[in-house]
Amino acid sequence: MNSLHVATSVADAIAALADRGDGGAPLAGATWIMRAPIRKEQHPRSYVALAKIDELQRVELLHDYLSIGACVTHARLAAALAPLPEFRALAVAAGSSANPAIRQMATIGGNLCAAGFAAADLVPALICLDAQIELAMPGESTRVSVEAFLTMRTDLPHGCLVRRVMVPRTTYRSDHVRLTLRKGGDYPVVIVSLAAELGSTGVVKSARVAIGSVETTARRWEKFERLLIGHPLDPADVTEKATLCADELHGREGVEAPGWYRIKVLPSLVGRAVRNIRGQC
Note down pLDDT in tens along the chain; length 281 residues. Answer: 479 999 999 999 999 999 999 999 999 999 888 777 777 778 888 999 999 999 999 999 999 999 999 999 999 999 999 999 999 999 999 999 999 999 999 999 999 999 989 999 999 999 999 999 999 999 899 999 999 999 999 999 999 999 999 999 999 999 999 999 876 557 899 999 999 999 999 999 999 999 999 999 999 999 999 999 999 999 999 999 999 999 999 999 998 899 999 999 999 999 999 999 998 86
| Strand ordering across the sheet containing 140-145 | 59-61, 65-69, 161-168, 132-137, 140-145
Residue type, 49: A
What pLDDT shows up at residue 281? 66
What pLDDT shows up at residue 1? 47
Q: Where are the domains of the chain?
A: 174-280
What pLDDT shows up at residue 183? 63
What pLDDT shows up at residue 58? 98
Superfamily the domain 174-280 falls into: CO dehydrogenase flavoprotein, C-terminal domain (3.30.390.50)
Which three-class secondary structure state does DSSP give residue 83?
A: coil
Please compute, for residue 95, the number of CA atoms within 13 A of its CA located in the half-sphere on the CB side: 14
How far, CA to CA in Å, does 199 sit from each of 62, 94, 153?
Answer: 26, 28, 37
Determine contact, residues 48/5, Cβ cutoff 8 Å: yes
Q: Is the dihedral of CA 156, 165, 91, 222 positive or negative?
A: negative
Residue 100 CB-density burial (10 A; 0-12 exposed, 13-18 middle, 19+ buried): exposed
What pLDDT shows up at residue 218? 98
